[in-house]
Amino acid sequence: MKSFDSNDFTSLFVYLAHQHVCQADLLLRADDRWGGAPSFYRQKGDVINVVGRSKNGWLKCTLGTRYGYLPNSTRYLKEK
pLDDT tier for residue 17 given thresholds of 50, 70 and 90: confident
Whether 22 contacts 77, CB under 8 Å? yes
Q: At a CB cut-off of 8 Å and minimum separation 6, what does 77 contact?
A: 20, 21, 22, 23, 48, 50, 59, 61, 70
What pLDDT does residue 3 have? 55
> Is a pLDDT exceeding 90 seen at residue 68?
yes
The architecture of the domain spanning 9-79 is: Roll (2.30)
pLDDT tier for residue 63 given thresholds of 50, 70 and 90: confident
Q: Taking the model in full, what pTM does it have?
A: 0.76
